[in-house]
Every structure is written in C-alpha cells, then in structure tokens.
Amino acid sequence: MTARRVTVVENILNANDQVAVLNRSRLDEAGVLSINLMASPGAGKTSFILQTIRALAPRLRIGVVEGDTAPVTIDADKVIAAGMPAVQINTGGDCHLDAVMLKNGLEQMPLDGLDLLIVENVGNLVCPAAFKLGTHLNILVASIPEGDDKPYKYPAIYRGLDVLIINKTDLLPYVPFNMSYFQQGVELLNPGVVTFPVSCRTGEGIQAWADWLLHKSEEMKK
C-alpha cells in the first residue's frame, strides 16, 4: 500500500516537473524574470508585491499571477489598481500552485510586454516547497509575528530558497522574536541565502530589495 502511494506521488511530481521545464522555457524566450513568492498566511505577500511594484515602476513592467484557494479577486484587483496586469488562479482548495496552473496563467499574461513576473503562491509553508513552477527564483516572505522558530519547523521551504525576505521588522520592539536564533536556523538549512529585512508598512529595506531585483532583470536581458 505504501509503495503504491509513493509511486503515485512520484508520478505526479515528475509530470509537474516536465510542465515546469516548459514554463521556464517560455519565460526565457520572452526574456521575463520570474519569481515564486511563498509565505504563510498573513506574512504580507500582497503588501510586499505592491511595495515592489511602487519601487520598480516605471523601470520594470511587472505582471502578477495570484494563487488563491477560493474564487476571490481581492489581491489581483489591488495589483490592477496599481497599474499592472494580474491573473487570478483558483486552486480549487489545493494548498499550492503547480506547474499546470501556472502554465494556464502564463497563457493569459502579456509576456512580450513584461520584464518581471511575480507569482504569488498560496499561503502555506509546506505544500509549495514540493511543486516546481518553472520560475527562476524561489522567494519566501517570513514575518516577525510568525515567530523565530519557523526554519526549524518548516525546513523544506527554507532549503529551496534563493531569497529570504524578513517582513514587519518595525514590530521587532514589540514582539518576542530572537533574530539571531532565526538566522542561525536559516543558515543551517541554506548557508549564505540572500536576505532582505524589510517593513512594508514603513518602506524600510524595500529599495535595497528592488535594486537587487532590477539587477537580476537586467542580467536576464543580456
């Protein structure tokens, strides 16, 4: 019974990975840098996206794919109001996006008119770590109120990161959060991972992140 279940899971992941390769090829051909933005619920993914858009417009043309477990367009509407194209993907209750869902989203995106695609994954620290999408960078938004033990409790998502965003740093004086303990856990799992402490409320740290991302996008064009 266990062997059959493992085989089924492996087949699903293999099929997903094949579509992810096609997604990456399509993004490469269009010259669009893409990021898979992950976080737990309430960490501030959408606020972070909006701050990123403000910091980079008009230097970069940015599109956003929004993944949600319910057919609501609240986050996508905010992106559109900020002047950027957005596509909403309803996962039908699934706790993550997969490569097929992103493929469908890419078909609705004006890739030829974009420099950067941000994919906002479903708020979850477990499932998104297992499913490749075909994006270029995996980014996690961790937030101070979540606690400093998350790297120890959810190691898989921290191991696969290219960039770690530590959001809501303005709350450090008011929340019991041991930054050294948190960073030690991250370093054990992902030594040297690029890290940006930010506050979406005050804007602190956003420009450094935006400048780094702009450089990555320019590299993509070379």
Which residue type is seen at 147? Answer: G
Quick one: pLDDT at residue 9?
A: 52
Q: How many other C-beta atoms are found inside a 10 Å radius of the C-beta of residue 74?
A: 11
pTM over 0.85: yes
Q: At what angle do helices 206-221 and 45-56 cross, to 10 degrees?
A: 70
Could you state, in order of their start, the residue ranges of all structural domains in the chain?
A: 2-221
CATH class of 2-221: alpha beta
* The two structure tokens encoding residue 13: 């992941």
Q: How confident is the model at residue 94 (pLDDT cuts 50, 70, 90)?
A: confident
**What token pair was written down for 76?**
């996508």
Q: Is the pLDDT of residue 163 over 50?
A: yes
Question: Mean of the pLDDT values across residues 116-127?
Answer: 94
- Write out the DSSP string of 150-182: HHHH-HHHHHT-SEEEEE-GGGTTTS---HHHH
Q: What is the dihedral of CA 80, 85, 91, 96, to 10 degrees?
A: -100
**Model pLDDT, residue 14:** 84
